[in-house]
Amino acid sequence: MNALPRAAAAEWLKLRSVRSTWWCAGGAVTTMMLVAALEADSTGRYLRQQDAGPGSAEAVTTTVAGAEWVLYIFAALGMLAVTGEYATRTIVVTLACTPSRSRLLLAKAAVVGAASFAAGLLVAALGVAVSAPMLHDLWDFETGRVAGRILAIAARLALVALLALGLGTLIRRSAGTITVVFGLVMVLPLLLQGLAAWSGAAFLTAVAGYTPGPAGQRLVAGDPVAGLVLAAWAAAALAAATWALRARDA
pLDDT digits (tens, 9 = 90+) for 66-112: 899 999 999 999 999 999 999 999 999 888 888 889 999 999 999 99
Model confidence band, residue 30 (pLDDT cutoffs 50, 70, 90): very high
Q: What is the pLDDT of residue 247?
A: 87
Round the average pLDDT of the chain to a whole number and report it.
Answer: 90
- The answer for residues whose C-beta is within 8 angstroms of residue 34's C-beta and 6 or more apart is 66
Q: How far is Cα 205 from Cα 165, in angstroms, rounded to an integer?
A: 28
Q: Which of 52-61, 132-141, 168-177 has the highest mean pLDDT?
A: 168-177
Q: Which residue(s) pair with 57 in the sheet?
A: 139
Q: What is the pLDDT of residue 97?
A: 86
Model confidence band, residue 54 (pLDDT cutoffs 50, 70, 90): low
Alpha helix segments (H runs only) across the chain:
3-17, 19-49, 61-88, 91-97, 101-135, 143-171, 174-182, 188-199, 203-208, 212-221, 224-247
Task: Write the pLDDT tens digit of every residue in 110-123.
Answer: 999 999 999 999 99
Q: How far is Cα 222 from Cα 220, in angstroms, rounded to an integer?
A: 5
Task: Give 7 or 250, the one with higher predicted confidence.
Answer: 7
Q: What is the pLDDT of residue 136?
A: 72
| Buried-state track 145-160, b at ≥16 Cβ within 10 A, e below 16 | ebeebbebbbbbbbbb
Q: How far is Cα 239 from Cα 102, in angstroms, rounded to an integer?
A: 9
Taking the model in full, what pTM does it have? 0.93
Q: What is the pLDDT of residue 185?
A: 95
Instruction: Inform me whether the pLDDT recorded for 183 exceeds 60.
Output: yes
Residue 132 C-beta-side C-alpha neighbours within 13 Å: 10
Q: What is the pLDDT of residue 162?
A: 98
Instruction: Inform me whether the pLDDT recorded for 1 exceeds 60.
Output: no
Chain Cα centroid distance, residue 53:
34
Question: Could you tell me whether strands 57-58 and 139-140 are parallel, antiparallel, or unpaired per DSSP bridges?
Answer: parallel
Q: How far is Cα 139 from Cα 115, in angstroms, rounded to an integer?
A: 30
Model confidence band, residue 250 (pLDDT cutoffs 50, 70, 90): low
Of 70, 90, 78, give the one whose Cα is nearest residue 167.
78
Q: Which residue(s) pair with 140 in the sheet?
A: 58
Q: What is the pLDDT of residue 216?
A: 94
Q: How far is Cα 133 from Cα 29, in angstroms, rounded to an integer?
A: 18
Of 121, 114, 110, 107, give the one whose Cα is nearest residue 70.
121
Counting every residue written for the chain, the total comes to: 250
